[in-house]
Amino acid sequence: MEEVSLRILKNFSEFDNHTKVVHVMRRDVGLDGFIAIHRECQGCSIGGTRFFEYLSPHDALRDALRLSKAMTYKCAMAGIALGGGKGVLMKPRYSFDRSALLHAYTEALNELKDFYTGEDVGMTQDDAATMAAHSPYIVGKPGMGGDPGPWAALSVYYAILTALEEVYGEKNVRGKKFAVKGLGNVGSKIAKLLLRDGGIIFGADIDEVTIRRIRKNIPEVHIVSPEEIHTIPVDVYIPCALGGEFDVAKVEKLACRIVCGGANNQLASPEVGRLLAKRGIWYVPDYVANAGGLINVAAELHPKGYQEDRVRVHVKEVSRIVRKILRASREDGNPPGEIADAIAEAAFSEYFVNTVSEDYICTKENYRAWQVHPKDFPCDASWSEKLLFLVRFAILAPSSHNCQPWYFVVKEKKILLKPDFSRALPVSDIHNRHLYFALGCALENLLIAADYYGFKAHVSYFPDTDTAAMVSFSGEQRIPSEYIRDHLIFSIPRRMMNRAPYDRRMPNSSFFEIVRKLSVPPLEFCIITNDIQKRTLTEILLSFRYRAFDDGEFREELSSYKRTNLTRKFLGMPGFTMGFNTPFSLIAPSLIRRMNVMRFIQNTDRKMLTMHTPVFIVVATHQEDEFHWLQSGKAAERMMLEAERSGIAVAGSAMPHESGVFRDLFPSSVYPQLFFRVGHTSHTSGHSPRLPAERVSTVFPF
């Protein structure tokens, strides 16, 4: 067994940075083939082994690459925490000892380790038993999961029923017409299930032995030639032969409403999926529809062992996934295959992958920065350690996309706050306004913490070209007995954006008084409670967001910072901070990347702003420059901390950088910078991840 070189793999369009691809060969027994591992999860992958008369090793390798990627998607969609792989063996064209060949293959599996495989095209249950006698990496064993075919057929059947319901409004099979191409292990079983429900079945197969068996055992099937079956007018076309079933020419001749079958890799290219959608033909992605076989054999790896009842429940889940895909496709106009790919990619990349870069280390480590508490101040430590402790509060500031664009240098009783342009947002924040807002928020946290501990702090703004603020410290620090219990420092670790609906209660008058006191030159805080003004501002904001989401580069940048609720990354926004549940958070990044989601959420956002937000607050400046953006951030952070202390919910964002559109709402002499929803809610949100202070600081001991 030897690894296939990257130089060779790059010649294949099917190569997708596969984890490992090996060539397995034993000439003495006729073994020749490939094992492709597309992705691993927890160090493991799964996929069947195909035994087929390929025309060349080139064709076999291409099939291995293509099918292994499909297995990764299938695992992700089926909720199986394994990566995708595939074994492809070239069937010798001469006499050979099948048992010896399979034994040699299991030796390669044992050497490779952690690739679980079993029966696929060209394999039988006897073959699975032969391999299981020599390797622990065989699934679908007789007496356990067994033949995956019936379960693949069952999941395709469930997928067909769901597709019928979504397209025709009912699951009724009776009287509907179905064309099954490939009447082998899976196709014949699908035909039986549909016949049982009153369906009319047309069937075709290239193998005459199979045709004779079908005519004998299932005479109700109307046999037609493989060349014409796709042209017969039917409700559902069911491909169950080998992959690559559809190209552009064949799609043009299809006469069906739905395509849903058991074959793998049915579409020759993504363009074929788009053509199907253009013709009004609903395609159920193959790796979703036929997942039952995988679900069944993978159940042998369950900690409690194989249980058929559990498998049956799991296979029924295919219906729910198909329904989600088809409805999403109908709503946004993208082909079902692209919707499914987006879901699968997001699910695997965020939920299943266990190999992450050293920047993103472990599941809860990325939230540990929020556990800072004022009582932990190192009273007896050095100045550098004390100042670094203050930085632990500064890093809890908000930032656009949670990009955390700051860096701190601690030296000589000073903290230098610097912009980290490597974490800037070049598309959505072309002038670095958001970046300086975030630095202002961090600076305010730093000064609040310094005040709590009795430091005297002096701020010098932009002392050099790469420093936003230099804070010089002096004075004696407070001892614990002098801690001020209602100080704003306690609100810093509790502050969070809350994007839930708010009720109609107004914040108390004392909060408004605090906000008015913040409204001093060079800043103005505009409190908006008038419904007409709120509706006007709402439409401006929604129009701006819609145009922003129409920009593919904006969506790409935003999606790169969207995280699932299970993320281990230190940067970016988990779905729960936006109100997403975990399943939706898995697909949100890919959906954002692929389409303008404002088309679907604009009305919801409009209701949120006009009906579920009693107060808008806008922070404006008299000038447009880095200093005034920094001051906006400082004042806005203090307002958010005061809101937290008063039990008031806040959610904010940067205002559009188009001051002309606000002339009806604000004086022409001001520049609106930051927008906030303010109100009360019983809903809770959650913190976003944070890079720890040590990762964004350089400390010179003193």
Residues marked active site are found at 86
Q: CB neighbours (10 Å) of residue 61?
A: 25
Name every residue whose Cβ is closer than 8 Å to that of residue 261 and which is 6 or more positions away in sequence.
156, 180, 181, 182, 187, 190, 237, 238, 239, 240, 245, 286, 289, 290
Cα separation of 146 and 125, whole Å? 7
Is residue 671 within a helix (H) or strand (E), and if so which, with residue range? Answer: strand 671-679
Cα separation of 270 and 198, whole Å? 34
Counting DSSP H helices and E strands in the chain, the numbers are 21, 24
Answer for the pair 24, 1: CB distance below 8 angstroms, yes or no.
yes
Cα separation of 311 and 145, whole Å? 9
**Token representation of residue 285:** 């992605």
- Decide: residue 28, CB within 10 A, 0-12 exposed, 13-18 middle, 19+ buried: exposed
Cα separation of 71 and 52, whole Å? 18
**Token representation of residue 61:** 């390798």
Task: Kindly list the distances between the CA atom of residue 593 and the CA atoms of 56, 401, 547, in Å, as whole numbers in the listed order.
Answer: 38, 15, 15
Name every residue whose Cβ is closer than 8 Å to that of residue 401 and which is 6 or more positions away in sequence.
425, 428, 557, 558, 561, 572, 573
**In degrees rounded to 5, what are phi and psi of residue 445?**
-60, -45
Name the residue among 50, 24, 23, 35 with its Cα closest to residue 119.
Answer: 50
